[in-house]
Amino acid sequence: MSAHAHVPVRAVLLICAATLCFASLDTAIKYLSSRYPVPLLVWARWAIQALAIVAWLAPRRGLSFVRTARPGRNLVRGAVLIGSSICFVYALRDLPIADVTALNYSTPMMVVVLAVFVLGERLTPARIAFVLAGVIGMLLIVRPGTDVFRGASLLALASAAFYATYQIMTRRMADEDSGVLLFYPALVGAVAMSFALLFSLEALVAMPWTHVAMLVVGGMVGTLGHLLFILAFQRGAASALTPFTYVHLVWATLIGWIAFGTFPDGYALAGMAIIAGAGLLITLHERRRAQSVRAQAEPLAGE
């Protein structure tokens, strides 16, 4: 039996907890986005994460998590993630959490397409089918020609496109230190959005302590989610754990229903199911494909 066949229960629970953290952060951001400028919220989200990472890593590792031979590439990668974050929060302000989360999960399909052009990977018939299924699911959610199809939906898709680019860049920097990969996006977000913060100072000063607490706790919860993700993938293979990230859709739907009274209609639910199904099938297909390649290579290694 392959070493990748076993999925540790603890790793699965960590993934479920991490996605719950992300859904909780999205809920706090959505609530505050109707009251405060989006740049202010994006700045707070990443500034808090940057401070939390420094507090977490600096005592144990000194400044090693800021040292990199490729600072430019790390900064660009961070800027791409912040672009995704900005689009995501703007979409979250106007759309239900479940819809934005589902559209954001079209990222795996976009990664498949980008990998062909950027990494030179082959677009197989199976991959084409999965991508088309994802597109159908996306269309069921945004439904062009209806009131659902508006700027916010396009921003959610733009967020997914940015995040797909971010994932491709992360693949090309797989040999980079994990602390560096975690810290630089937060640093870029905190510094870059500080300039936009100059236009939101009045809102920041007038913010009641309850909303400040919500921002701080939300940022800490989001950071905890990233930490739980890291811990999960240290305990299990990424190919085995990735399907469980779709629990995020369940959390987003339930929390959106409880907190805001919004529940996806039949079309949106069907679209979510298709996107999640396509994403799961892509993951399983790539896992089996990788196992097949390893199995064919093992006899050669023993010769």
Is 149's pLDDT higher than 70? no
pLDDT, tens only, 220-269: 898 888 888 878 877 776 666 777 888 888 899 999 999 998 888 888 88
DSSP assigned state of 261? -
| pTM score | 0.81
Query: How far apart (Å, rounded) are the C-alpha atoms in residues 4 and 235?
Result: 11
What pLDDT score was predicted for residue 3?
41
Q: At 93, which amino acid appears?
A: R
- Between 130 and 209, name the one with better pLDDT: 209
pLDDT, tens only, 160-200: 999 889 888 887 887 788 788 888 888 999 898 888 777 77
What pLDDT score was predicted for residue 297?
59
Is 129's pLDDT higher than 70? yes
How many percent of the chain have pLDDT more than 90?
A: 21
